[in-house]
Amino acid sequence: MTDGLKASQIKGGIRPSKSFDQGRVCKDESCSTKLSIYNKRDHCFNHAPVKYPRVRGRILQETA
Ligand SMILES: [Zn+2]
């Protein structure tokens, strides 16, 4: 009867407040953007690999 509440439970237990190394910069060679210690990625937001969700198996492409 209360399946909705059950689904909202957090899995994996308690998460330690982990931070990452300070002074990291974007992995892009031409980029020196500093990364937040709380940013677990290796790239700044400009260079982070972006996953485009597929929309019904079709990718729209602009033709020059
Ligand atoms: Zn970058």
49 is a domain residue: no
Q: In terms of pLDDT, which residue wins out, 55 or 49?
A: 49
Q: In terms of pLDDT, which residue wins out, 11 or 46?
A: 46
Return the closest-CA partner of residue 35 out of 19, 11, 43.
43
35 is a domain residue: yes
Query: How many Å lie between the centroid of ligand 1 and the Cα of residue 7?
Result: 37
Query: How many Å lie between the centroid of ligand 1 and the Cα of residue 47?
Result: 5
26 is a domain residue: yes
- Average pLDDT value for the chain: 77
Structural domain span for residue 24: 18-43
51 is a domain residue: no
The pTM is what? 0.46
pLDDT at 30 over 90: yes
1 is a domain residue: no
Q: How confident is the model at residue 48 (pLDDT cuts 50, 70, 90)?
A: confident
Query: How many Å lie between the centroid of ligand 1 and the Cα of residue 62?
Result: 25
| Percent of the chain as helix, strand, coil, to the nearest 5 | 10, 5, 85
Query: How many Å lie between the centroid of ligand 1 and the Cα of residue 57?
Result: 29
